[in-house]
Amino acid sequence: MLTNEFTQTLQLPELKIIKCLRTGKLDSEFELEKTSQFEVCPKCATRSWTIYDHVWVRIKDAPIRDRHIYLKIKKRRFYCKKCKKPFTEPVAGIRKGFRTTERFRKHIMWCSDNFSNLSQVQRQLDISSSLNHKAYYEQLGLQIKTIQNEWATTIGIDEHAFRKNKKGGYREFATIFVEYSHKRVRELALGRSPGELFSNEKLMAIPGRENVKNVIIDLSKTYHRFASDFFPNAKIVADRFHVMRLFNNIVNQYRKNCTGDKRKNPIRKLLLKRSADVDPHVRRAVNRWLDENPSVQEVYYYKEAMHRFYRIKGMKHAKRVLIKLTDQMALSNLPEIKTLRKTICQWRNEILQFFENGLTNGRTEGFNRVAKLIQRNAYGFRNFENYRRRLIYRTM
């Protein structure tokens, strides 16, 4: 066992085992040393052959068959003639000032990902919770740094609540950037205003903004402003489901005036469904109900018209239908329909863009759910950077 092959398997090839101090049921400890002829001064890169003195360091390594491994390393200190100072020799696989090997830190990350809770990891590996957290998030950071590609051609942008700012009493938001072709979260930024996003260093560091062709957003003006500045050559697509939601909200509002706010009332769901998706005999009942409640009938009509609009194939046809629909809405006496018409007209190009490529924000919404799940599993995050690393790594 006491061969150099063993240190090879430990991924510490520079070290040689001097002797085995202990091999027990619970742990093993070895004495090791480095055998290079000279070392290079980390400050001035001068080679040094002069050994100044020794120090002993005790390093923890990843367990082997549930047995904790400790490495007692005799580190030499060399004297640099140029700096007139001694320096400690480095060991590949153990970072300077660390008391754990890289291999062990990777192992901590693996356990933290695969065990059901972190206290189990800490018990299993006999480590403190602070080392557990530190090593875990540090390794996540290293992993997500391997994503280096340019922006994908299609990007979905959406927001979700991140945490409550206790001092200001307001809710903080995070903006998620999803790459459609890679099916992953490319970046997560704190905040949602163009100012906040443009000052985000990590976002700005990703190359190839000018190559992005499509950006899908909900109907928010701030994202529109940001997306058109940030991705100068991209076409902006208004997400179809968010457009439908505007209509659904008005239907709900008018229905509440008739039936009250009982969520269990079956008509609530039936009115929001596309009438073509409802069973014919149920549809007849819905229509009878609408006849009795004419105030809902009109908004329901526009909602259905919008559903039909989204079934259209081809941009030209869609353009014509949208003009017809907004003209119709202009004649309505309902104030909600009038403001809705205004919104539709403002977003006209972005809504029509859907008929060019059929893109929706469904994938982004899906990752939003993952984000919320991660937040819940962690009982919320105080540190945004940790949250960012967790989310990006999860979808890698």
Minimum CB distance to Zn ion smaller for 81 or for 245? 81
Tell me the torsion sign for CA atoms 251, 256, 259, 262.
Answer: positive
Give the residue closest to Zn ion by C-beta.
Answer: 41
Rounded to 5°, the CA angle 9-10-11 comes to: 85
Which of 65, 124, 55, 119 is closest to 91 using CA atoms? 55
The CB density around residue 311, as the number of other CB atoms within 10 Å, is: 9
CB of 150 to Zn ion, least distance (A): 40
Whole-angstrom Cα distance, residue 263 to residue 256?
10
Minimum CB distance to Zn ion smaller for 85 or for 213? 85
CB of 44 to Zn ion, least distance (A): 3
Minimum CB distance to Zn ion smaller for 44 or for 204? 44
Tell me the torsion sign for CA atoms 218, 223, 227, 228.
Answer: positive
Minimum CB distance to Zn ion smaller for 43 or for 372? 43
Element (H, E) at 38: none
Whole-angstrom Cα distance, residue 315 to residue 195?
34
Please tell me the count of residues contacting Zn ion according to CB under 5 A.
7
Minimum CB distance to Zn ion smaller for 6 or for 79? 79
Which of 59, 80, 152, 299: binder of Zn ion (CB under 5 A)?
80
82 binds Zn ion, rule: CB under 5 A: yes
CB of 81 to Zn ion, least distance (A): 8
Whole-angstrom Cα distance, residue 22 to residue 102?
23
Residue 18-57 contact track with Zn ion, rule CB under 5 A, x = bound: -----------------------x-xx-x-----------
Minimum CB distance to Zn ion smaller for 82 or for 369? 82
For residues 89 and 34, the answer to whether their CB atoms sit within 8 Å is yes
For residues 345 and 329, the answer to whether their CB atoms sit within 8 Å is no
CB of 160 to Zn ion, least distance (A): 51
User: Residue 331: exposed, middle, or buried by beta-carbon count in 10 A (0-12, 13-18, 19+)?
Assistant: exposed
Minimum CB distance to Zn ion smaller for 78 or for 137? 78
For residues 172 and 190, the answer to whether their CB atoms sit within 8 Å is yes
Residue 180-199 contact track with Zn ion, rule CB under 5 A, x = bound: --------------------
CB of 96 to Zn ion, least distance (A): 15
83 binds Zn ion, rule: CB under 5 A: yes
CB of 87 to Zn ion, least distance (A): 7
Whole-angstrom Cα distance, residue 396 to residue 392?
6
Strand ranges (E), the chain: 15-23, 27-34, 39-40, 47-48, 51-64, 67-80, 85-88, 154-164, 171-179, 184-190, 214-217, 235-238
Residues 328-387 that bind Zn ion (CB under 5 A): none
58 binds Zn ion, rule: CB under 5 A: no
> Phi and psi of 222, rounded to 5°?
-65, -40
> CB under 5 A: which stretch of 4-12, 68-76, 82-90, 384-392 binds Zn ion?
82-90
Residues 265-304 that bind Zn ion (CB under 5 A): none
Minimum CB distance to Zn ion smaller for 30 or for 87? 87
Residue 94-123 contact track with Zn ion, rule CB under 5 A, x = bound: ------------------------------
- Positions touching Zn ion (CB under 5 A) are 41, 43-44, 46, 80, 82-83
